[in-house]
A and B are shown apart, each in its own frame.
Chain A
Amino acid sequence: MSDGLMIEVASLTKQYAGHTAVSNISFTVGHGEIVGLLGPNGAGKSTTMRILACYLPATSGTVRVAGLDVFKRSDEVRRRIGYMPENNPLHLDLRVGEYLRFRARLKGLNWTRCRRRVDTVMEQCGLTEVSRRIIGQLSKGYRQRVGLADALVHEPELIILDEPTIGLDPNQIRSVRQLIKGLASAHTVLISTHILPEAEMTCNRMVIMYEGKILAAGTPENLERLMSHNSQVIAEIAAPPEELRECWTQMPQIDQFDVSPCEGEYFRCALTPRNGVDLRPSVYELACKHGWPLRELRRSRHSLEDIYVQVTRPGEEEET
């Protein structure tokens, strides 16, 4: 076991006939982390996950799970992984309980442990009341939970979920997301998604992929900080607009400004700083000095949405 790393991907490349799906990516995931692979469709997320799950071989580069090479020691790696593929394929002719017992046995659990684990995961995923229903007759939300239960049933160290919330309604998404969050303590989780709020809410760390390359990686906060060096400061001040404009022009840190009337006597000033300075203290001091009432003072946060759009916009790739 190599110093607490669950996944080590080093210069991984995967080429299909004619095109490169993943080109020279490297990243690591530590024990107990929830990491999101984020990217538009066709960015290489699924390919990366399939390679991690030992379904496809890499063209070049090394991939290790719990210190074991996924190609050379595929059997041991597969024992440690719970993988739910995209679109969550299931045997639709089986009952929920039957299917989970079949999967648990296939993954090498003995009878007593199989029975105990199947009961546990059905409870965990809220499947107990449908355990005797045929999977083909269940709603999509339930099927998704069956897929999750299957990924969990052999208590894997690493859980890989490819687009676990795709095609679910908002309530179902919430419940699946909660389930994933609940796994964090005991397992390492790698999930892929192209929905930002999902990653923002569930993951400690994100890897943004685009066209087979990693464009950015880090915690959601770090990625935001990365972007926030020229973020605007919004201040709502009750003062004569001419005086406000005068003050902003005189302040050397301000690159651009915009003053627009708000309700009441307040004016809303949007200030863009030069060189990434935080303008908030100086704005506060200014308001105090003139005795102007200050109603709001905030730095507009770049949401992950902005990061995502900025980073994945074709032609404007930004390396970190």
Chain B
Amino acid sequence: MSHQDVEHAFHPNPIIQIRELCVDYITDNGDFRAVNSVSFDIGRGEIFGLAGESGCGKSTIAFAINRLHKPPAFISGGQILFEGNDLLKLSDQVINSIRWSEIAMVFQSAMNSLNPVLTVLEQFSDVLRHHQGLSDEIAKQKAEKLLDLVNIPRDRITEYPHQFSGGMRQRLVIAIALSLNPKLIIMDEPTTALDVVVQREILQQIYQLREEFGFSILFITHDLALMSQLCDRIAIMRHGEIVEVNQSKSIRNTPQHAYTQKLWASFPNIHEGKHRTQGAAL
């Protein structure tokens, strides 16, 4: 990265600072470096996007932040400072209490993140009981309020995950992620498995909730168009390294790195020319 790019990677008021992070996978042919000395900040209340092709290391970073990576992956170097504390140095007990209450995660497949044999209410109470020691009664009241937030009718609280559509399940996961007022939510391709209309509904909701509660989001996707719509700043990753970081607008309008330009050229945009004609009409 050139000096100028590094500048855009940082934020004056960060919630989390990733510094020189390296993650390796142990293989038969020696270690494979999946994330190579990656540094960036996510600001308070900021939506930070991480874009790249599959296998570029973006999900590995998402897992490493929470220390949820599993062998053969291991963090071989760097720091992850969450509000100044290095998460990599914390005991398992401390990181356990930080997970979900401070840093929540939403994955691509909502069905796999929900327990199929528990009702929605039980999944909420599980989180609230474990982290906040709430009684069942209070947990239920809180769960109902959270359902209101994501526009799911309260009376469906006694139903099981399979009774909900894919989009609703993802909204349930988001509601559970919000249940402990986390400061950072990591979203790893949260809408990739969903239809465009449902995707738009969920993202609009995420955006509005962010406005309301002010949490930060690390948003991971390979869809650059979507990313530049939603995120404040975007980092483009390739082969485990960040090749370009900048404000969404600059990534969209003046991409510097050849790879970013190639990514933009690789998908058709049906809205092309619309803004121009609208401008002309005005």
A binds B: no
